[in-house]
Structure 1
Amino acid sequence: MQAKKNKNTAVILGVAFVWFTTHFGGGFASGAQIYSYFVKYGIACLILPVLAMVYNGIFFAYSLRFARKHEVYDYRSYNNAFYGRFAPVFSNLFEVLYICVMCVAPAVAFATGGATLSTLTGLPYLLCTFLIGIFIFVVAVFGTDLVRKVASILSICIIAGLLIVYIPNIVSGMDGISKAAESMRSAELPLGSAVYSAFLYGTFQLSNIAVFVQHARSFEKPSDAGKSMGVGIVVNALMMVMVALGLMSVYTDPGMADASVPTLFMVQNGVGASFMTPLISLLIILGAVSTAVNMVAAMVKRICKEQREPAGTSQKPKIGKKEIAAALICCIVDFGIAQFGLLTLIQKAYSLIAYLAIPVILIPYIVHMIATRMDTKSPGEKTTVHRSEDDYEKASKGQVDAAVKVVRQKTVADGVYDTGMPAKKALYTGHIGDGKIYGKARKTARRAGERICGYESRSNQRRKDGFS
């Protein structure tokens, strides 16, 4: 019993850590995100990161809970189930949003690595991003497996490096933080702009739902999603506030406004610069490379259909000319996007993703939360039965299995996604309109249930009563 409880706790913490490592990559380690969306908007930068993470945590918990409850663990199937009858529109819009993220995120990684290398060496930014691009291309083609194996270790190293760098600079820079707070108050920066900026930051992070839903499978029960994201809120918010405090220590320095890598600027003007500058620079570049390699590899996989290996073979998939060409095209596109500059990409491109996420994720999710009462009832229960669930539990196993067989046969014949157990559950409870069975298969399920299990839908009952 205790071992099971410990395992469940480990899973809850593990999924929270997935959010943590997804959020804190090379781009975050540069400090550009926190400076652009929070610090430059005033003293509210110490509170708004917490609110942004609470905002994210609510939506992430809702999506993970939905995925675990309905057993949909890849983002396409998840979107089809979540959006229900609107899936043909919103699932495809989500694909467009996801492709935008897959283009911008590697470009930010290119820019992060290039800006850091340029600051360290004094070489032109164009040349530095080109060198970073060559390195990313080579690793993406030949070393993806290695990067995946060390990705978690790299993330932990980045986190440890941030703690090593920021805590001493915060302690030694308390005077600078006090001056920054006074300067922010006297400037009377508008709170509305700060709140809107934090809203955009939280909204573009919502696109990570596509990454998270696969991890819902590991939860013992759907309610574990809320516990996991609660831990994630605390950890992410604390790290963001820590970075904001560190950047405030050099906020009043005239060079801070033009710094392309704020964390590096803070280290160069703080304590232990000789030791911490190469340390944080290396971690930022490694984090950027690992992020870009994973993104480029994912895009290559989407472009080049994977060939299925015969059963029993354990050979590694061969890298062909098509894969190399796809990786090269992705790197060239990302290199071109990176020339807009790190701060421009973070301020403009991330904001664009946020605007795209509003109609695709934010509004539909709010509507879904309201319509389903936080996923406690099926949306638009037009075919809800009048008999209780206990009545269906009394139905013979043969009756239910026969109905499920009819539904499955019709589902396969129509080329509609077959959900197996949810179909059986739908026949038991009569909740056919829960987004699990689509189109003609839904009607077939209702008719099969009425014929074999002996229940009547509300629509049929209304028809008998003389209503249209």
Structure 2
Amino acid sequence: MSIEDKDVMDKKKLKKTKIPIYMGIASVWFGTHCGPGVASGKQTAVFYSEFGKWAFITPIIAMALMGLCVYYSVEYSRLTEVKNFRELTDKLFHPYEKIFSTFFEVTFIATVLMVVGGCIATGAEVLNQYIGLPMIFGSIFLVIITILLSMYGANLVRASTTIITVFIILCLIAMVVLGLTSPKGNFSSNWSGKSFGDFSVMKAIIMSIVYTGFQSAGNIANAVAVSKGIKSKKESKKAAIVGTILNTVLILSIVFLLFAYPNSIKETLPNYFVADKVGSSILLFSYVVMVLLAVVSTNVSFSFSVVSRYGEKIPMKKGTKRDFVVILILMILCVVVSALGLDTIVSKGYKYLGYACIFIVVIPIILVGFKKTKNFSKDSYESEDNIKKKL
């Protein structure tokens, strides 16, 4: 049985659990977002916390833009009944699909390699710091878990996406509360000691938009991959709104935490630094579990998207063996990228990717998506109206 066949079974099980599809899309966005950089705190440190108090405002800008991208992608997928990102971009950007679809595909591949590579680097680093497991063995362990879950445990992982989301939120709340109330942190003095004028507002806003950029291709692709079955424009809006709220809260919670521990933003794993400094063994263990869940969840989500897009390119019969080959190739490439280290991937790779995606993904998706969804709805209404008149 291939991943596509499992996908159909997953949707039937999802209906039985009565979990709204829009909530599933929002959870997949959250699960994909809460991957290597966010769970470690590194992304938040680089793109937000380095700008002081502006870090409490700019995440709203970034996630609002990302929400618009998700909404127009999901809504246009619903209207045109596409099942993967390539079909979406081909229809959305017609008659210039060869240009924009190719750009999107390149950025998607770059996103997958860097995000999944970053996931492996983050998970391996956490295991190394927590139990002393060598990086190479940590990487191999995470690759094996990802392959097994993608091949045989996909139903379980996707059905429990909401549960994983809830666990991550609870763990973050615990970290924020304990971190802010711990005598080791000093939020109030750091707040009074800094002003908005200490940092460039323009640079802070630009970096928040760059953040949307490198998040765009992967999140759009994954949202489209799980959007089948969404029934109305209202549900598309709910998916975008719920996802925007969840992901904004996610970033802001880490912003609050790191603001109380300014030295943490220089660390490779800022959140691990805080959890360890607080001195709670339970909190540190929960953090490690949260990171590993986030890493595996993100890896599996991207594995689904890659198999959905490129599985048919492999000259093998559709099924589990073909899926295994695709995921194995993906994991090997991502392990090579992970060797660059989390600092390099987040500080350099994500920034360059983000700048590129602003112009070839974010702006086109929002502008063209707005125009085409509006025209599509208008054409459908006029068509139905003409039919009624004829009757």
Counterpart check, 1:172 vs 2:187: no
Contact kept in structure 2, 1:180 and 1:248, CA below 8 Å: yes
Which among 44, 49, 63 is matched to residue 54 of structure 2?
Answer: 44
Aligned residue type for 2:375: K
Distance 2:124 2:216 in 1: 27
CA RMSD of aligned residues (A): 3.5
Contact kept in structure 1, 2:28 and 2:161, CA below 8 Å: no
Distance 1:375 1:74 in 2: 17
Aligned residue type for 1:274: S
Which among 221, 224, 247 is matched to residue 213 of structure 1?
Answer: 224
Q: Cα distance, 1:268 vs. partner?
A: 0.9
Q: Cα distance, 1:192 vs. partner?
A: 1.7
Show the 5 A alignment for 1:15-414: 15-122=25-132, 125=135, 128-130=138-140, 132-133=142-143, 136=146, 147-148=157-158, 150-172=160-182, 176-185=186-195, 188-207=198-217, 208-251=219-262, 253=263, 256-270=264-278, 272-296=279-303, 299=306, 302=310, 304=314, 307-308=317-318, 317-319=319-321, 327-368=327-368, 372=371, 375-377=373-375
Q: Cα distance, 1:159 vs. partner?
A: 2.5
Cα distance change of structure 1 residues 326 and 56 upon mapping to structure 2, 3 Å threshold: closer
Distance 2:237 2:155 in 1: 32
Aligned residue type for 2:302: M
Aligned residue type for 2:358: I
Aligned residue type for 1:264: Y
Aligned residue type for 1:354: G
Aligned residue type for 2:267: A
Contact kept in structure 2, 1:106 and 1:296, CA below 8 Å: no
Distance 1:67 1:112 in 2: 33
Contact kept in structure 2, 1:65 and 1:223, CA below 8 Å: no
Aligned residue type for 1:244: V
Contact kept in structure 2, 1:42 and 1:194, CA below 8 Å: no
Q: Cα distance, 1:18 vs. partner?
A: 3.2
For 2:10, the equivalent position in structure 1 comes to: none
Deviations 1:392-446 (A, max 9, x none): 65558xxxxxxxxxxxxxxxxxxxxxxxxxxxxxxxxxxxxxxxxxxxxxxxxxx
| TM-score normalised by L of structure 1 | 0.68
Higher helix share: 2
Contact kept in structure 1, 2:121 and 2:341, CA below 8 Å: yes
Distance 1:24 1:54 in 2: 17
Contact kept in structure 2, 1:126 and 1:339, CA below 8 Å: no
Contact kept in structure 2, 1:108 and 1:345, CA below 8 Å: yes
Contact kept in structure 1, 2:179 and 2:185, CA below 8 Å: no
Q: Cα distance, 1:265 vs. partner?
A: 0.6
Cα distance change of structure 1 residues 219 and 341 upon mapping to structure 2, 3 Å threshold: same
Distance 1:134 1:210 in 2: 24
Distance 2:280 2:387 in 1: 71
For 2:5, the equivalent position in structure 1 comes to: none
Aligned residue type for 1:109: C
Distance 1:392 1:148 in 2: 41
Contact kept in structure 2, 1:206 and 1:357, CA below 8 Å: yes
SS of structure 2 residue aligned to 1:375: helix
Contact kept in structure 2, 1:74 and 1:214, CA below 8 Å: yes
Deviations 1:256-297 (A, max 9, x none): 244211111111112x52221122112212321343345346
Contact kept in structure 2, 1:39 and 1:247, CA below 8 Å: yes
Q: Cα distance, 1:29 vs. partner?
A: 1.7
Q: Cα distance, 1:248 vs. partner?
A: 1.2
SS of structure 2 residue aligned to 1:307: coil
| Higher gyration radius (CA) | 1
Cα distance change of structure 1 residues 163 and 69 upon mapping to structure 2, 3 Å threshold: same
Aligned length: 369
Percent pairwise identity: 24
Q: Cα distance, 1:106 vs. partner?
A: 1.2
Distance 1:149 1:325 in 2: 24
Distance 1:104 1:12 in 2: 27
Contact kept in structure 2, 1:173 and 1:249, CA below 8 Å: no
Q: Cα distance, 1:153 vs. partner?
A: 3.7
Cα distance change of structure 1 residues 293 and 250 upon mapping to structure 2, 3 Å threshold: same
Aligned residue type for 1:275: I
Q: Cα distance, 1:89 vs. partner?
A: 2.1
Distance 2:384 2:323 in 1: 53
Aligned residue type for 2:346: I
> Could you say which structure has the greater relative contact order, defined with CA pairs below 8 angstroms and 6 or more residues apart?
2
Cα distance change of structure 1 residues 235 and 291 upon mapping to structure 2, 3 Å threshold: closer
Contact kept in structure 1, 2:52 and 2:196, CA below 8 Å: no
Distance 1:137 1:358 in 2: 32
SS of structure 2 residue aligned to 1:72: coil
Deviations 1:50-109 (A, max 9, x none): 121111112222222222233334322222221111112222222222211221121011
| TM-score normalised by L of structure 2 | 0.80
Cα distance change of structure 1 residues 332 and 189 upon mapping to structure 2, 3 Å threshold: same
Contact kept in structure 2, 1:97 and 1:353, CA below 8 Å: yes
